[in-house]
Structure 1
Amino acid sequence: IPAMGEIAQGMVRDVLNAYASRDQQLAVDVIERDEKLDNFYNSIFRNLVSHMMENPATISSAAQLLFVARNLERIGDHATNVAEMVFYAATGRYFTDRGFIEDGEK
């Protein structure tokens, strides 16, 4: 979870810098880091659920850790959304999972 926090913090810092300078490459870097944060969350989720099943006495504390991990993952999602807006403001193109598309394309 601390590693997730560092990634999320870096994403927020970088997306604010990208916004201030309309830096499309920094925005793309933020967008690409979201997958790493998602993978961290999925791994933590699986591990904690397994741990809760093996030791029901840990359910309360493990659930709290799941909430923390989920909120860190959401911070990354919000930073990614802002990065996509920065990319559009800088280039006039929408960023999608497949890269970018010109305004008006589908």
Structure 2
Amino acid sequence: MNGPELDPEDVAEMRSQDPDGWRRYMRQQITNGKQRRDNKPKPAAPKPPGHRPGAWPVGTHPPGPPPEWDIPADVWRRATRHHSNEINRPDQPCDCGDCPPEETR
């Protein structure tokens, strides 16, 4: 602690003699502590040369669609049907259309 150490007896005596003086003393201690803080704003990071606000950096482009979007809807349907069959009906043959017949397994 960077200030004077306060004993409980001294605090009790100050408060009993002058309650408003104690409040003023504590407020001054708080003010002194706030003034010692380093509140200087940090400088902003420098912008890259040629930067246009809101634009992608030169030589780059926004990402394209995810690769899952290239999978045909029929393949998705069969895969989800197979997954559903594995979870909900594990003891029955799968009817997703991609699994071989039960006899050849």
TM (norm. structure 1) is: 0.30
TM (norm. structure 2) is: 0.31
Larger radius of gyration: 2
Q: Which has the higher contact order (CA 8 A, sep 6+)?
A: 1
- Larger strand proportion of the pair: 1
